[in-house]
Amino acid sequence: MFLGQAIPAAAQFVPEVPEGLEVGDEFRIGGFVSEEFFTDALSDDIDFYNAIAQMQGEAIEEILGDSYMGTDIFENPDFSWQAIVSTDAVDARDNTGTADTTEGAVGNVEIYRLDQELIANDNDQLWSGTLENSFNISVLDGGVLNGRASWTGTASDGTASNCALGTDACRGLSTRGNSFFSGQIDGTEGFWTDDTLNVQSKEQGIYILSDVITVEMVKDMPEPGTVISLVTLGGIFLGTSRRKKSTKK
């Protein structure tokens, strides 16, 4: 299982707030964890996977720093990162606060990669089976990651699959033993969550999603095409909503 490791200081990049967003716009950051946070799928505890997401998120925050935020906004103790995975008790869409597809609902906002590319316009598209762009960008250096698998235990609609992480549900489906659904991180169709079965003891990454971020100010820099942005986090509201979510019995 994942034990936690230090993040290397080298090969880091500094992304900007997604281009085209204006004051008052809300968005979330989606990504795939770096190898330091790869894990097996032995645990059936959603908090285990959320802890990995939080640690990776905090490493991202260190990279983003003032050049992204222009302030110490990440010090907000209510801001958090969640794992896009399902266990037998909790669906990925509930764990990430993306189950509500009603327009204007808390957390139903655009999701971007750290290279400013749009992943999904809203929760409905996230779980529609067709993304705008895949999750295949490194959260630490912006490099393209292809051909890798992500633990999900999740069907394309965001609910737990028959192979939710940490359960015995898939025993016998593979000659290699207990196996669970994984997604392909370079996929934009439904297989970004449910592409293949992998042995639960294998070390793989997971997808993560930030709380809601609200743009407060955008202004031009002296050099053309350069933007500096100040934002605040709306995660406290999403966090409250997520804590009140119901889990499957």
Q: What is the pLDDT of residues 28-85, one digit of tens each?
A: 999 999 889 999 999 999 999 999 999 998 888 877 765 554 445 567 778 899 999 9
pLDDT for residue 196 is more than 50? yes
What one-character DSSP code corresponds to residue 193? T
Q: Average pLDDT of 165-183?
A: 68
Residue 67 within a domain: yes
Residue 18 within a domain: no
pLDDT for residue 249 is more than 50? no
Residue 182 within a domain: no
177 or 24: which carries more pLDDT confidence?
24
Cβ atoms of 204 and 149 within 8 Å: the answer is: yes
Q: Round the average pLDDT of the chain to a whole number and report it.
A: 76
The pLDDT value recorded for residue 141 is 65
167 or 248: which carries more pLDDT confidence?
167
Total number of domains constituting the chain: 1
The pLDDT value recorded for residue 137 is 83
The pLDDT value recorded for residue 240 is 32
Residue 239 within a domain: yes
The pLDDT value recorded for residue 231 is 46
144 or 226: which carries more pLDDT confidence?
144
What is the domain range of residue 115? 26-146+205-243
Burial class (CB in 10 A: 0-12, 13-18, 19+), 116: middle
Exposure b/e, 25-59, CB count within 10 A at least 16 = b: bbbbbbbbbbebbbbbbebbebebbbbbbbbbbeb
148 or 146: which carries more pLDDT confidence?
148
Residue 3 within a domain: no
Residue 99 within a domain: yes
One-letter amino acid for residue 23 of the chain: V
How far is residue 235's CA from residue 212's CA, in Å, rounded to a whole number? Answer: 5
Residue 62 within a domain: yes
The pLDDT value recorded for residue 101 is 83
pLDDT, tens digit, for every residue of 74-132? 677 788 999 999 999 999 999 999 999 888 787 899 999 988 899 999 999 999 999 99
15 or 212: which carries more pLDDT confidence?
212
Residue 104 within a domain: yes
Structure confidence at residue 243 as a pLDDT band (50, 70, 90)? very low
The pLDDT value recorded for residue 60 is 83
How far is residue 5's CA from residue 75's CA, in Å, rounded to a whole number? Answer: 22
pLDDT for residue 229 is more than 60? no
